[in-house]
Amino acid sequence: MPEVDDELSWWVYPPALYPWRALAGVVVLSLVVIFLIYYAGGPAVGIIGGGVIFFVLNGFFLPSSYSLDGEGLVWRRLFFRFRRPWSHFQCYYADRFGVMLTPSHRPSRLDPWRGMNLWFGPTDGEKGPKGTNRDRVLAFIKRHVKPYRPPVDHRDVLG
């Protein structure tokens, strides 16, 4: 069982954790910009389109900082700073990259816009996806928000 702190802070730079995914993202972004420059209206359209796509994907390309305490969480990225109290969130669910805190009682397709997605950060000793602070983050969040439990365990139904 991981130890639970009164405050937990970390920063994440996803291209450092997942360099192959970052390379694929840069290649796709470059191909879109080239397509826009040559086939959709010129350099101005390419630069504006590339900027819009980069802004949409900034969660992956820019570093983020997270701070969790007894009152809520603070998320910082570039010029943005968001603070949400724990009472704003009804449940959470995790995958291998991070945890989604949602204001509804179950996962929704609106979660990327209403909830907060926290990337797991690297631990001090290991690099890469296996050396994350997943256990510490989930233990901290579990003290304040209940995890989502589906009404039917599909593993029992499907075998």
Is the residue at 38 inside a domain?
yes
Given a contact cutoff of 8 angstroms between Cβ atoms, the answer to whether 92 and 145 are in contact is yes
Residue pLDDT, tens place only, 105-133: 888 888 888 889 999 988 765 554 556 88
Q: How many domains does the chain have?
A: 1
Residue 156 confidence (pLDDT): 61
Is the residue at 154 inside a domain?
no
Q: Which domain holds residue 127?
A: 8-148
For residue 126, give the 3-state DSSP assignment. coil
Angle between helices 19-39 and 43-56 (to 10 degrees): 150
Is the residue at 137 inside a domain?
yes
Positions in the chain short of pLDDT 70: 1-5, 124-131, 152-159
Is the residue at 32 inside a domain?
yes
Is the residue at 26 inside a domain?
yes
The residues pairing with 64 across neighbouring beta strands, listed in sequence order, are 12
Residue 149 confidence (pLDDT): 80
Residue 108 confidence (pLDDT): 86
Is the residue at 114 inside a domain?
yes
Is the residue at 16 inside a domain?
yes
Average pLDDT for the chain:
86
Residue 90 confidence (pLDDT): 92
Residue 59 confidence (pLDDT): 82
Give the start-end residues of each E strand in the chain: 8-12, 64-68, 72-77, 80-85, 91-94, 98-102, 116-119, 146-147
Residue 128 confidence (pLDDT): 47
Residue 34 confidence (pLDDT): 93
Residue 86 confidence (pLDDT): 95
Q: What is the 3-state secondary structure (H, E, C) of 30-63?
A: HHHHHHHHHHCCCHHHHHHHHHHHHHHCHHHHCC
Is the residue at 57 inside a domain?
yes
